[in-house]
Amino acid sequence: MSDMQEQAIRQQCKTLRMSTMGGQFARLAEAAIREGQSHIGYLEALLGAEMEERETRAIARLLHEARLPRMKTLEGFEFDRSGVSAAQLRDLAAGDYVAKAEPILLVGEAGTGKTHLATGLCVAACRQRRRVRFTTATAMINELAEAAHANQLSRALSRWERLDLICIDELGYVPLAETACELMFQVIADRAEKAAVIVTTNLPFSEWSQVIPNPRLCKALIDRLTDRAHIITTGTDSYRFRRTTAARKNEKA
């Protein structure tokens, strides 16, 4: 293959936005000759490389748009040190709950791994090419309040509605004003039986009235979130505290 041919092919690949093919066609052609591949075999390898790279870029974009606090996966969670079922989380990570619009509620004390598990489920959903958004309850309410103040609430609610999965972290850590609760309820109510939501909370449902002052709104929110939900209890024993304690013991040993 002449230099002129290579340049022409690279330019054509650039025009067709096939950057991986443009970067790998020569190397794969040499490999095909060495291995005695057919023309069809070479074409299959070339197209496969392009598809694989596009898939990688698409997932990277979805992970970026999800606004995850940290890149944590279920594979990195130490299930043997927690009371959470690894099998249950693996089943959920397969994504059926997203397709069926079933909520997931992670309930437990601070440090028990709720955010790690929620993030891991979000990563799994992004890998399945689903549109995900991770937020804290406070950040979501602030965003909606700013949109309402700017007369853009309807547009903001539409953006949330278009997502395949929303994860609301730290619900229950800070008392919420009634107006704030109403804004969050709009998002959750709009998704009921239509799209999936993950919520992490440090409070049992019987104590949600401590942070949601309107009893009727509190009851309605719990009703929407618990309907057909997967409720996972992470316990009261801090995973982070145990890990820190173990690390200090190892340092002294």
Question: In this predicted model, what pLDDT tens digit does every residue of 208-232 receive, in sequence order?
Answer: 999 998 999 999 999 999 999 999 9
Question: What percent of the chain stands above pLDDT 90?
Answer: 64
218 with 136, same domain: the answer is yes
35 with 96, same domain: the answer is no
92 falls within a domain: yes
Task: Tell me: pLDDT of 249 over 60.
Answer: no
158 falls within a domain: yes
51 with 75, same domain: the answer is no
Angle between helices 215-226 and 178-191 (to 10 degrees): 30
Structure tokens at 169: 């972290």
Where is average pLDDT lowest: 170-174, 191-195, 225-229, 234-238? 234-238
User: What region does 151 belong to: left with phi over 0, alpha with psi -120 to 50, or beta?
Assistant: left
Domain ranges, residue 7: 3-65
What CATH number does the domain containing 208 carry? 3.40.50.300
Where is average pLDDT lowest: 38-42, 122-126, 148-152? 38-42
Into how many domains does the chain fold? 2
Task: Tell me: pLDDT of 1 over 80.
Answer: no
80 falls within a domain: yes
111 with 17, same domain: the answer is no
Would you place residue 237 in the very low, low, confident or very high pLDDT band (cuts 50, 70, 90)? confident
Q: At CA 165, angle to CA 159 and CA 170, rounded to 5?
A: 95
The confidence score (pLDDT) of residue 244 equals 59
141 with 208, same domain: the answer is yes
The confidence score (pLDDT) of residue 219 equals 95
118 with 230, same domain: the answer is yes
Instruction: Give me the mean pLDDT over the 174-180 stretch.
Output: 89
The confidence score (pLDDT) of residue 247 equals 55
Q: Residues 102, 230: contact at Cβ < 8 Å? A: yes
Question: What percent of the chain stands above pLDDT 70?
Answer: 93
Q: What is the pTM of this model?
A: 0.85
Q: Which of 14-23, 75-84, 140-149, 174-183 has the highest mean pLDDT?
A: 140-149
Neighbours of 167 (CB within 10 A): 26
